[in-house]
Amino acid sequence: MVSIDLSVFTITEIVYFISIPLEKGLVRPIKDRPRMGLVFCPSGRVIYNHHGKSYVSDPNHVLMLPTNGNYTLICESGCICPMVDFKISPPLETPEIFSFRVPNIAGLLSIYRHIDNLWTFKKQSYKLKCMAGLYEMFSLLNDTSLSPYCPGYKFEQIRPSIDYLEANYNNPEITNNMLSTKSGISTVYFRKIFTEKYGISPMKYLQIKRIEKAKDMLLSEIGSISNVSDATGFNSIYHFSRAFHNMTGYSPTEFIREYARRAPKKVE
């Protein structure tokens, strides 16, 4: 499965939302597809043969179909497939089908049905709301594409810990023990599930988020390095500066200078 970062694309146009009834045994060749498409298969199973590869659309897999793609659709069991056709910028360099494993398709379908209704009945500000809804679907698919696979039931076990971490990331007292307690599980099991989901340990993840926030605050040129250190959950400027250097290769002061050097000069 080839991954794709959907956050690098801008949706420039939504063409339509439709639900296509497909009969069992249907074989349909598609040539030079004119637009990008997202296709869902809430029940049943549809195979897309493309460049010698087979891609499955079923309740656990959503497919992104490429502009200028040539493929053959084979319906193995009858179903009604929701589809969104749209255009993006920059365009994909190669007409590749992308498959997204979705543990629970219900969330995506809920968004689709809402924006399909808006699009059909042209309700107030429907274009903006439909665009926002499609971006929300992109976001959900991106999370599944770029994160290591972790079964949904496991993630639900640590959700209270994640919610606490996100709301209190700047609390310098956060530890693995504290987070695991929020979910009522052992520290070892919490670390195991977290690492399955995010690909790194909880404390490493926390430090990355703190440094990312610190970079934004330093670039704002508001507040001292000491204030930034306190605001992002570090116990001292020393620990903050060391962590910042380890992650960025710059001290906080060097980072500010480097940004100022790269910033475009003001035209008088």
pLDDT, tens digit (0-9, with 9 covering 90-100), for 126-157: 999 999 999 999 998 887 766 555 555 677 88
Residue 1 lies in a domain: no
| One domain, residues 210 and 247 | yes
| One domain, residues 76 and 171 | no
| One domain, residues 113 and 35 | yes
Residue with the larger pLDDT of the pair 244 and 51: 244
- DSSP assignment string, 27-65: EEEE-S-SSEEEE--SSSEEEEEETTEEEEEBTTEEEEE
| One domain, residues 43 and 118 | yes
| One domain, residues 81 and 18 | yes
Residue 68 lies in a domain: yes
97, with CB counted inside 10 A (0-12, 13-18, 19+), is buried
- Given this model, what pLDDT does residue 267 score? 43
Domain carrying residue 221 = 204-262
68 three-class SS = coil
Whether 265 shows a pLDDT value over 60: the answer reads no
CATH of the domain at 215: 1.10.10.60
CATH of the domain at 54: 2.60.120.280
Whether 231 shows a pLDDT value over 60: the answer reads yes
Residue 57 lies in a domain: yes
- Given this model, what pLDDT does residue 236 score? 92
Residue 183 lies in a domain: yes
Residue 173 lies in a domain: yes
| One domain, residues 122 and 215 | no
| One domain, residues 113 and 186 | no
Could you give the number of structural domains in the chain?
Answer: 3
Whether 10 shows a pLDDT value over 60: the answer reads yes
| One domain, residues 32 and 71 | yes
* Cβ partners under 8 Å of residue 8, min gap 6: 90
| One domain, residues 97 and 180 | no
Residue 110 lies in a domain: yes
Whether 75 shows a pLDDT value over 60: the answer reads yes
| One domain, residues 137 and 224 | no
| One domain, residues 176 and 242 | no
Residue 268 lies in a domain: no
- Chain centroid offset of residue 78 CA: 30
pLDDT tens-digit map of 19-63: 999 999 999 999 999 999 999 999 889 999 998 899 999 999 999
Mean pLDDT to the nearest integer, 106-128: 91
* Total residue count of the chain as it appears in this document: 268
- Given this model, what pLDDT does residue 57 score? 94
- Given this model, what pLDDT does residue 117 score? 93
Express as a percent the part of the chain with pLDDT over 70. Answer: 92
Residue 267 lies in a domain: no
| One domain, residues 83 and 121 | yes
Task: Find, among 121, 98, 117, the residue nearest to 109 by Cα.
Answer: 117
Whether 256 shows a pLDDT value over 50: the answer reads yes
